[in-house]
């Protein structure tokens, strides 16, 4: 009897320890194309991020997922799972008819539990602004990243339609941003970051959600156009930092700053590019893909994802075609072979990449990929790209966090993108099923026993 009592007591302590909530509120800000140098190198115009680094916990780099692209990465941030498990393996799924394809926006396509769902199950309130793959998501106050395929330049109609509860997009315009014009939610204008920051600040003040997620997209756009060090990138970093400042002030005004953990992270780093490679041209030379718009009677195709390209076989069991492609790649002249390396299936399994791809190519720095099956094998490109295999410094994203439950003055040389969601779950005292990441004890404030 005594033993049972003791066991019950230990179990009780264990679970109290495991599920103890150390932050009543958590805010995750994802800056698209966020790089550690934005906070570690004080020459970037980002005082909020840099002061957070001085006061909190940060990583010198966050290893991303493969491919290092926006939608799969954001889904890893919010689930702690790798793409093969969470189901969002590309921005645009492989599709022989379109190749450029549609973006995955519907939350139903996520196959594992999200932080929002876990929070909801624990009776906590959630809000989200402009987060990828959130149309129809279980979020109490949700303004998803969405646009109509017919009018991609004007996001207002789709946002109004997909925001929940109904009328939320109108509510934030009335109370936070003022009436929005089409170009106020356009990636090319930094006012988009500012408007998203104001919407988030409003939702915090008005509803005090326990978990808030927001995605600020403009930095990515300018890094694509200008490369890592462009003038526009500096302005975009300043605008993201300004939005973060608005969010910090909202936490202060709402009286919840001391009970909130604020996390700034991102989805991938960036690489400067000079040339774009078209590996489908090699497949066309082998007769494995047609050059007509419908690609003819194809057997194999590369699906480009920026800095990498994934090989798909029409018949996944077609070993003969796979061997033909491997042989062709091994026999290319060195002048072409040196532009990329092959990521084989066993490495992709470890990284949780698209289970349906037979292999992938990842570019050396400077090389990105396109889907063309005719024309030159290599054409000029400019600006920046991501999507590369995540094993070098420039492609890493960042992580800096401060506030309730978090340690101060700790530096991590590297964490994984999948480690963020378990940390958030731990801070909120909720259980996140299916997460593959781990919580580093040094991130958390030590509690007296
Ligand atoms: Zn991105």
Q: Determine the distance separating the centroid of ligand 1 and the alpha carbon of 171, expressed in angstroms.
A: 28
Q: Determine the distance separating the centroid of ligand 1 and the alpha carbon of 386, expressed in angstroms.
A: 8
Q: Determine the distance separating the centroid of ligand 1 and the alpha carbon of 204, expressed in angstroms.
A: 24
Domain ranges of the chain: 18-270+391-428, 274-381
pLDDT mean for each 10 residues of the chain (449 residues): 44 47 95 98 98 96 98 98 98 74 91 98 98 98 94 94 98 98 95 98 98 98 98 98 98 98 98 98 94 77 96 96 98 98 98 98 98 95 98 98 95 98 98 95 76
Q: Determine the distance separating the centroid of ligand 1 and the alpha carbon of 295, expressed in angstroms.
A: 29
Long-range Cβ contacts of 253-258 (<8 Å, 24+ apart): 253/205, 254/204, 254/205, 254/208, 256/24, 256/25, 256/204, 256/208, 257/403, 258/403, 258/404
- Topology of the domain comprising 18-270+391-428: Alkaline Phosphatase, subunit A (3.40.720)
DSSP labels, 16-32:
HHHH--S-SEEEEEEET
Longest Cα separation, the chain:
80
Burial of residue 366 (CB within 10 Å: 0-12, 13-18, 19+) is: middle
Q: Determine the distance separating the centroid of ligand 1 and the alpha carbon of 397, expressed in angstroms.
A: 10
Q: Determine the distance separating the centroid of ligand 1 and the alpha carbon of 94, expressed in angstroms.
A: 18
Q: Is 251 helix (H, G, I), strand (E, B) or coil?
A: helix
Give which of 34, 446, 104 is closest to 270, Cα–Cα.
34
The pLDDT assigned to 297 comes to 79
Q: Determine the distance separating the centroid of ligand 1 and the alpha carbon of 130, expressed in angstroms.
A: 12
DSSP state of 254: T
Contact (Cβ atoms closer than 8 angstroms) between residue 267 and residue 64: yes
Determine the Cα–Cα distance for residues 309 and 324; give it in Å rounded to an integer. Answer: 17
Determine the Cα–Cα distance for residues 263 and 57; give it in Å rounded to an integer. Answer: 10
Q: Determine the distance separating the centroid of ligand 1 and the alpha carbon of 145, expressed in angstroms.
A: 13
Q: Determine the distance separating the centroid of ligand 1 and the alpha carbon of 110, expressed in angstroms.
A: 18
The pLDDT assigned to 1 comes to 43
Q: Determine the distance separating the centroid of ligand 1 and the alpha carbon of 173, expressed in angstroms.
A: 26
Burial of residue 17 (CB within 10 Å: 0-12, 13-18, 19+) is: exposed
Tell me the two tokens of residue 81: 């799972």
Q: Determine the distance separating the centroid of ligand 1 and the alpha carbon of 268, expressed in angstroms.
A: 6
Contact (Cβ atoms closer than 8 angstroms) between residue 376 and residue 280: no
Q: pLDDT, tens digit, for every residue of 2-42?
A: 444 444 444 444 443 446 779 999 999 999 999 999 999 99
Q: Determine the distance separating the centroid of ligand 1 and the alpha carbon of 323, expressed in angstroms.
A: 34
Q: Determine the distance separating the centroid of ligand 1 and the alpha carbon of 276, expressed in angstroms.
A: 19
Which ranges of 175-277 does DSSP label H, i.e. alpha helix?
Answer: 191-207, 218-226, 231-253
Q: Determine the distance separating the centroid of ligand 1 and the alpha carbon of 331, expressed in angstroms.
A: 34
Q: Determine the distance separating the centroid of ligand 1 and the alpha carbon of 72, expressed in angstroms.
A: 9
The pLDDT assigned to 9 comes to 41
Which ranges of 254-318 does DSSP label H, i.e. alpha helix?
Answer: 279-285
Q: Determine the distance separating the centroid of ligand 1 and the alpha carbon of 68, expressed in angstroms.
A: 8
End-to-end CA distance of the chain: 26
Q: For residue 289, give every residue at least 6 positions away whose Cβ sits within 8 Å of its Cβ, in sequence order, or none.
A: 280, 283, 295, 296, 298, 299, 300, 301, 373
Give the distance, in angstroms, between the CA of residue 404 and the centroid of all CA atoms in the same chain.
24
The pLDDT assigned to 17 comes to 43
DSSP run (H or E) holding 172: helix 168-172
Q: Determine the distance separating the centroid of ligand 1 and the alpha carbon of 334, expressed in angstroms.
A: 32
Q: Determine the distance separating the centroid of ligand 1 and the alpha carbon of 217, expressed in angstroms.
A: 7
Contact (Cβ atoms closer than 8 angstroms) between residue 32 and residue 216: yes
Determine the Cα–Cα distance for residues 257 and 252; give it in Å rounded to an integer. Answer: 5
Q: Determine the distance separating the centroid of ligand 1 and the alpha carbon of 233, expressed in angstroms.
A: 14
Q: Determine the distance separating the centroid of ligand 1 and the alpha carbon of 215, expressed in angstroms.
A: 9
Q: Determine the distance separating the centroid of ligand 1 and the alpha carbon of 340, expressed in angstroms.
A: 22
């Amino acid at each position: 009897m005594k033993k049972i009592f003791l066991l019950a007591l230990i179990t009780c302590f264990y679970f109290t320890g495991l599920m103890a909530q150390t932050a009543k509120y958590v805010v995750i800000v994802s800056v698209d194309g966020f790089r550690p140098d934005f906070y570690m190198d004080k020459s970037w115009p980002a005082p909020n991020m840099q002061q957070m680094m001085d006061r909190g916990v940060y990583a010198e780099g966050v290893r991303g997922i493969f491919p290092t692209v926006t939608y799969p990465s954001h889904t890893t941030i919010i689930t702690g799972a790798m793409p093969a498990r969470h189901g969002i393996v590309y921005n645009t799924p492989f599709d022989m008819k379109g190749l450029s394809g549609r973006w995955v926006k519907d939350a139903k396509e996520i196959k594992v539990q999200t932080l929002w769902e876990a929070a909801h199950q624990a009776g906590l309130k959630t809000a989200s602004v402009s987060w990828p793959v959130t149309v129809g998501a279980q979020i109490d106050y949700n303004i998803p990243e969405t646009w109509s395929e017919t009018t991609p330049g004007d996001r207002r109609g789709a946002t109004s339609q997909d925001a929940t509860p109904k009328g939320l997009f109108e509510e934030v315009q009335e109370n936070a941003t003022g009436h929005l014009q089409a170009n106020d939610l356009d990636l090319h204008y930094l006012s988009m970051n500012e408007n998203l920051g104001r919407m988030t600040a409003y939702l915090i003040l008005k509803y005090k959600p326990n978990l808030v997620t927001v995605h600020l997209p403009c930095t990515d756009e300018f890094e694509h156009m200008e490369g890592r060090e462009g003038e526009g990138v500096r302005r975009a970093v300043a605008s993201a930092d300004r939005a973060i400042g608005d969010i910090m002030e909202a936490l202060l005004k709402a009286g919840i700053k001391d009970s909130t953990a604020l996390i700034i992270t991102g989805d991938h780093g960036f690489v400067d590019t000079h040339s774009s490679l078209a590996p489908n041209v090699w497949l066309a030379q082998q007769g494995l893909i047609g050059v007509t718009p419908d690609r003819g009677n194809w057997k194999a195709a590369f699906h480009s994802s920026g800095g990498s390209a994934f090989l798909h076989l029409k018949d996944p069991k077609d070993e003969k075609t796979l061997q033909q492609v491997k042989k062709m790649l091994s026999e290319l002249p060195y002048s072409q072979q040196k532009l990329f390396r092959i990521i084989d299936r066993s490495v992709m399994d470890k990284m949780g990449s698209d289970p349906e791809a037979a292999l992938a190519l990842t570019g050396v720095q400077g090389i990105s990929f396109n889907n063309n099956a005719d024309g030159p094998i290599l054409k000029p490109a400019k600006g920046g790209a991501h999507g590369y295999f995540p094993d070098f410094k420039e492609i890493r994203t960042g992580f800096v966090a401060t506030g309730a439950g978090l340690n101060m003055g700790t530096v991590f040389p590297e964490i994984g993108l999948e480690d963020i969601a378990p940390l958030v779950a731990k801070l909120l005292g909720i259980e996140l099923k299916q997460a593959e990441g781990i919580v580093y004890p040094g991130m958390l404030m030590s509690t007296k026993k």
